[in-house]
Amino acid sequence: MNQPLRVGIAGLGTVGASAVRLLESRSNGLVPRTGRALRITGLSARTRERDRGFDPAPYSWFDDATALASNPDIDIFVELIGGEDGPALDAVRAALKAGKHVVTANKALIAKHGLALGRLAAEHDVQIGFEAAVAGGIPVIKTLREALAGNEVDHVSGILNGTCNYILTRMQQDRIGFDECLAEAQRLGYAEADPTFDVQGYDTAHKLAILTSLAFGTEIDAESVYVEGITSITLADLDAADELGYKIKLLGVAQRTESGIEQRVHPTMIPKSAAIAQIDGVLNGVAIDGDAVGQVVLVGPGAGGDATASAVIADLADIARGLKIPAFGRPPETLAPYTRARMRRHEGGYYIRFSVVDRPGAFARIATCMADNDISLESIVQRKRAVRSAPAAETEPHAQQPVVLLTYETTEAAIRQALETIETAGVIASKPQIIRIEAARTA
Amino acid sequence: MNQPLRVGIAGLGTVGASAVRLLESRSNGLVPRTGRALRITGLSARTRERDRGFDPAPYSWFDDATALASNPDIDIFVELIGGEDGPALDAVRAALKAGKHVVTANKALIAKHGLALGRLAAEHDVQIGFEAAVAGGIPVIKTLREALAGNEVDHVSGILNGTCNYILTRMQQDRIGFDECLAEAQRLGYAEADPTFDVQGYDTAHKLAILTSLAFGTEIDAESVYVEGITSITLADLDAADELGYKIKLLGVAQRTESGIEQRVHPTMIPKSAAIAQIDGVLNGVAIDGDAVGQVVLVGPGAGGDATASAVIADLADIARGLKIPAFGRPPETLAPYTRARMRRHEGGYYIRFSVVDRPGAFARIATCMADNDISLESIVQRKRAVRSAPAAETEPHAQQPVVLLTYETTEAAIRQALETIETAGVIASKPQIIRIEAARTA
């Protein structure tokens, strides 16, 4: 039997405390599964004196995470501090340079510094595990990095933020407005006091950038992700979506196209029959399309102390078992540069909701602008009375009434051009709402 | 760079031919992912002369799979012959004894001989991979064996047979009878010419037994699985299920109980809102409940050449990467004996469909028998007219009309006792239909 692997854990918030408790309760049970014991030896957090549901007495205490990270008495450094720079980055760098393996749940850190940290890990011949950084307890990193190794992946889409999914589900199911749902999510602990990062889509963008690198073998590039949040989604949109057979989800999508790889985060209309449309509440889910396997969908808790700690333990167990795999599944020097597909070249269907002004010919003007840009309309919904297959609304204008159009597949550039012309023509009362449609990818 | 790993593939049916083509097209791309090339060196099948979409000329040909398995020019033996004994077993044993790693898609082989083969692999310090044996391209073996290592699993349930799921989905959606659906599935290639093994539930039982061992750390015991197939399911059952808010799926369930571990395969009523209820057509899906992670659900193609070959390649890549893990996630000698929970002690709700005879007091007799066995009724559906919350049907008997009861949680023993009494009382016209209900396990 090998010597136990000594684990230092920095950051004892919800996830950190769960990780300590879970590792304490499972460490004996893990030995037959890994061939090597995992023992906590050191801890670090801002305050030692707090009841976290375990006794810190048996472990060395470090006020400074970096001191723990480079301490000779640990073999693996677990970073659960959070933040893309600052102490988390310093400590992870120190650990790798000192030849320690690293396990982290920090998506912001990996999204921004993953490539550099992957290089550092390779240089020092140690592992860096971040299963917990994306979709909590769902093994999406392992699935992309190992289980689908024989596939060319051409599309990954995910519901990666439980806060947004909770809010959209609640709005849709109970017809409650965004602000009220957000306040409720905050009361229930599903949303942060400052929810900007979640509801504006940035959290999803970080996670998506990590998945993109794993799926396509490209250098991680979180800066290039096109990001729209969910703050503009109204009950009118959710009602129209429902009527048209769709659900609205905040989706992160990475997709191979002729001009490069699209990375985009935005509210998305998904056909109700799609597997990912069924994922409601705080759950996360990821759909991966591989050329050999077809579509695999993984669903589960995307956040929470124990679910995230489960992923931390999985990474620790892999390291104990002796797994040797580069951070993004391939040696850093073999990752291809990320080639960004411009959002203007995105192709797909669009949902557009207008408030059309009460003026003769206003709708005709809109229809003409769409036609001038080669945009074909699949359906028109006016005043929630019916879904029609042809633009018959011209003769019955309703002042400031919402008109919803669904287009057939077109390009983002055409949509933007058409909307610019429509806006300057003064036939709509406010900025149009645009939601991209994701076609079903499996039968 | 290490020497390439030399791969011998035996069995060139749909999966075997896909595996050869996929490995040929991916072998260079896999090198950065595994650190070691995988090269096919030998092939074996009954007939060499057949167009399988690849050229066999570059590879040594073996008429005898066992000769390939023990040939000094291979490092990994891939068994895609099928069958629980015979040439597949002989060849796999020969490979392990000769110190070759083994990758197989053969669920019957693993279900029956997995423990012995796992011991043989451990003895010779080689790997045995069987991701392809359960749920095709879905990485459920890896998820249970590695990703959920930090969890105590207490429940695994799966739709593990695409043929049955296709038939039930088609019956439900299009109101077509079992025989017609089966014939259609055979025409479409979703069902074998002899479908017994699939529709009677044995294929699901094999796969479930493998998952049980991985989930609970017990010795594999496929003989102890309680098995019922789908041949008795009628449109009347599917209609009643729909009316009551359920779908009927052939489910394999492994569950920890006070008296041991239940392993059962039977048609199951699942609330429509459950994730696993949404899995339709030929797709497979597995829901795993771990104490830390909560519920994780994996969905994808459970069969087909390329999807299954994707899992074969994943196992090969793991071996190339140097993964060392016992067959069932723990050394064979640490697996606990399987303790069977008797089906009589199963607890749950039941759906029971009777044809009640036209005789005064017949329904009263049934209701009394249920009450005598402490079985409480949740709802009664008679003649599809309504769902009622209390047994009010007594005063209006309908000769030979189906009466559907849903019970609250009770035991299998109580149900069997009640039905025996009811059958001998002569108040029903035919054998009652019983379908077990699986309660929703997540919110």
Tens digits of residue pLDDT in B204-256: 999 999 999 999 999 999 999 999 999 999 999 999 999 999 999 999 999 99
Among B143, B301, B325, the residue with its CB nearest the CB of A293 is B301
Flag if B142 and A146 touch (Cβ within 8 Å): yes
Confidence band of B152 (pLDDT split at 50, 70, 90):
very high
Measured distance CA(B126)–CA(B315) in Å, rounded: 13
Mean pLDDT for the stretch of residues B315-325: 97
Instruction: Yes or no: say if A175 and A202 are a contact pair by the CB < 8 Å rule.
Output: no
pLDDT in tens, B258-272: 999 999 999 999 999
* Residue A381 pLDDT: 83
Task: Report the residue of chain A nearest B281, measured CA to CA.
Answer: A443
Query: Range with the lowest mean pLDDT among A187-196, B87-96, B177-186?
Result: A187-196
Residue A399 has pLDDT above 60, yes or no: no
- DSSP state string for A348-404: EEEEEEEEE-S-TTHHHHHHHHHHHTTPPEEEEEETTTEEESS--GGGS--TTEEEE
Identify which of A121, A27, A79, A107 has the alpha carbon closest to the alpha carbon of residue A320: A27
Q: What is the DSSP letter of A300?
A: E
pLDDT in tens, A111-135: 999 999 999 999 999 999 999 999 9
Flag if B322 and A324 touch (Cβ within 8 Å): yes
Confidence band of B1 (pLDDT split at 50, 70, 90):
low
Identify which of A317, A333, A314, A328 has the alpha carbon closest to the alpha carbon of residue A128: A328
Confidence band of A148 (pLDDT split at 50, 70, 90):
very high
- Bin B382: left if φ > 0, else alpha if -120 < ψ < 50, else beta: beta
Find tokens 């040696």 and name the residue.
Answer: A331
Q: Give just the sign of the alpha carbon dihedral A161, A162, A165, A167.
A: negative
Mean pLDDT for the stretch of residues A134-151: 97
Measured distance CA(B156)–CA(B71) in Å, rounded: 39
Measured distance CA(A81)–CA(A133) in Å, rounded: 12
Confidence band of A1 (pLDDT split at 50, 70, 90):
low
Provide, rounded to the nearest whole percent, the portion of chain A with pLDDT above 70: 95
Among A35, A131, A150, the residue with its CB nearest the CB of B313 is A150
> Which of A31, A299, A306 would best serve as a mutation to test chain B binding (most B beta carbons within 10 A)?
A299
Q: Provide, as residue numbers in chain A, all residues whose Cβ is less than 8 Å from the Cβ of B36.
A: none
- Structure pTM? 0.94
Measured distance CA(B98)–CA(B101) in Å, rounded: 9
Flag if B317 and A149 touch (Cβ within 8 Å): yes
Mean pLDDT for the stretch of residues A180-209: 94
Mean pLDDT for the stretch of residues B13-27: 96
Confidence band of B384 (pLDDT split at 50, 70, 90):
very low
Measured distance CA(A1)–CA(A31) in Å, rounded: 10
Kindly give the pairing relationship between strand A128-129 and strand A101-104.
Answer: parallel
- Partners of A5 in beta bridges: A38
Residue A181 has pLDDT above 90, yes or no: yes
Flag if B325 and A321 touch (Cβ within 8 Å): yes
Measured distance CA(B76)–CA(B185) in Å, rounded: 35
* Residue A149 pLDDT: 96
Q: Provide, as residue numbers in chain B, all residues whose Cβ is less than 8 Å from the Cβ of A329.
A: 33
Instruction: Yes or no: say if A158 and A286 are a contact pair by the CB < 8 Å rule.
Output: yes
Residue B67 CB-density burial (10 A; 0-12 exposed, 13-18 middle, 19+ buried): middle
Cα-based distances in Å from A111 to A65, A105, A366, B42: 21, 11, 41, 43
Residue A384 has pLDDT above 50, yes or no: no
Task: Report the residue of chain A nearest B145, measured CA to CA.
Answer: A33
Measured distance CA(A27)–CA(B370) in Å, rounded: 48
Among B22, B323, B330, the residue with its CB nearest the CB of A150 is B22
How many other C-beta atoms lie within 10 A of the C-beta of residue B288?
A: 27
Instruction: Yes or no: say if B288 and B214 are a contact pair by the CB < 8 Å rule.
Output: no
Residue B388 has pLDDT above 90, yes or no: no
Confidence band of A402 (pLDDT split at 50, 70, 90):
confident
Measured distance CA(B312)–CA(B317) in Å, rounded: 9
Among B26, B275, B279, the residue with its CB nearest the CB of A150 is B26
Residue B394 has pLDDT above 70, yes or no: no
pLDDT in tens, A327-348: 999 999 999 999 999 999 999 9
* Residue B442 pLDDT: 55
Flag if A33 and B139 touch (Cβ within 8 Å): no
Q: Which of B207, B247, B384, B431 is catalytic?
A: B207
Mean pLDDT for the stretch of residues A274-291: 94
Angle subtended at Cα B204 by Cα B201 and Cα B210, rounded to the nearest 5 degrees? 140
Could you tell me the two tokens for B127? Answer: 């790997």
Compare A192 and A316 and report the one with higher pLDDT: A316
Residue A386 has pLDDT above 90, yes or no: no
pLDDT in tens, B36-61: 999 999 999 999 999 999 999 999 99
Instruction: Yes or no: say if A65 and A92 are a contact pair by the CB < 8 Å rule.
Output: no
Q: What is the DSSP letter of A428?
A: B
Measured distance CA(B91)–CA(B113) in Å, rounded: 13
Mean pLDDT for the stretch of residues B333-339: 96
Find tokens 């633009």 and name the residue.
Answer: A391
Q: Give just the sign of the alpha carbon dihedral A338, A339, A343, A348.
A: negative
How many other C-beta atoms lie within 10 A of the C-beta of residue A420?
A: 12
Among B295, B310, B322, the residue with its CB nearest the CB of A148 is B310
Q: How far does the CA of residue B350 sit from the closest CA of chain A (Å)?
A: 26
Measured distance CA(A153)–CA(A61) in Å, rounded: 44
Report the length, in residues, of chain B. Answer: 443
Measured distance CA(B361)–CA(B395) in Å, rounded: 8
Q: Which of A207, A247, A249, A324 is catalytic?
A: A207
Q: Provide, as residue numbers in chain B, all residues whose Cβ is less than 8 Å from the Cβ of A149.
A: 30, 33-34, 313-314, 317
Q: How far does the CA of residue B259 sit from the closest CA of chain A (Å)?
A: 22
Q: How far does the CA of residue B134 sit from the closest CA of chain A (Å)?
A: 14
Measured distance CA(B193)–CA(A309) in Å, rounded: 48
Mean pLDDT for the stretch of residues B419-435: 94
A and B: number of Cβ contacts within 8 A = 184
Could you tell me the two tokens for A300? Answer: 């589960």
φ, ψ for residue B365, nearest 5 deg = -65, -45
Mean pLDDT for the stretch of residues B109-114: 98
Flag if A33 and B293 touch (Cβ within 8 Å): no
Q: How far, in whole angstroms, is CA A159 from its chain's centroid?
A: 6
Q: How far does the CA of residue A436 sit from the closest CA of chain B (Å)?
A: 24
Q: Provide, as residue numbers in chain A, all residues whose Cβ is less than 8 Å from the Cβ of B146.
A: 139, 142, 314, 317-318, 321
Kindly give the pairing relationship between strand A260-271 and strand A226-227.
Answer: parallel
- DSSP state string for A134-154: SSTTS-HHHIIIIITTT--EE
Flag if A318 and B290 touch (Cβ within 8 Å): no
Flag if A150 and B290 touch (Cβ within 8 Å): no
Which amino acid, B391?
P
- Partners of A157 in beta bridges: A253, A287
* Residue A442 pLDDT: 56
How many other C-beta atoms lie within 10 A of the C-beta of residue B30?
A: 20
Q: What is the radius of gyration, based on Cα positions, of chain A? A: 24
Element spanning B91, H or E: helix B86-97
Q: Provide, as residue numbers in chain B, all residues whose Cβ is less than 8 Å from the Cβ of A301.
A: 293-296
Kindly give the pairing relationship between strand B153-159 and strand A401-407.
Answer: unpaired
Mean pLDDT over the full length of chain A: 93
Which amino acid, B102?
V
- B249 catalytic residue (yes or no): no
Measured distance CA(B433)–CA(B415) in Å, rounded: 12
* Residue B390 pLDDT: 46
Q: How far does the CA of residue B293 sit from the closest CA of chain A (Å)?
A: 4
Mean pLDDT over the full length of chain B: 93
φ, ψ for residue B28, nearest 5 deg = -70, -40
Measured distance CA(B194)–CA(A416) in Å, rounded: 57
pLDDT in tens, A217-275: 999 999 999 999 999 999 999 999 999 999 999 999 999 999 999 999 999 999 998 88
Among A139, A295, A329, the residue with its CB nearest the CB of B300 is A295
* Residue A443 pLDDT: 38
- Beta-strand ranges (E) seen in B272-312 are 283-290, 294-301
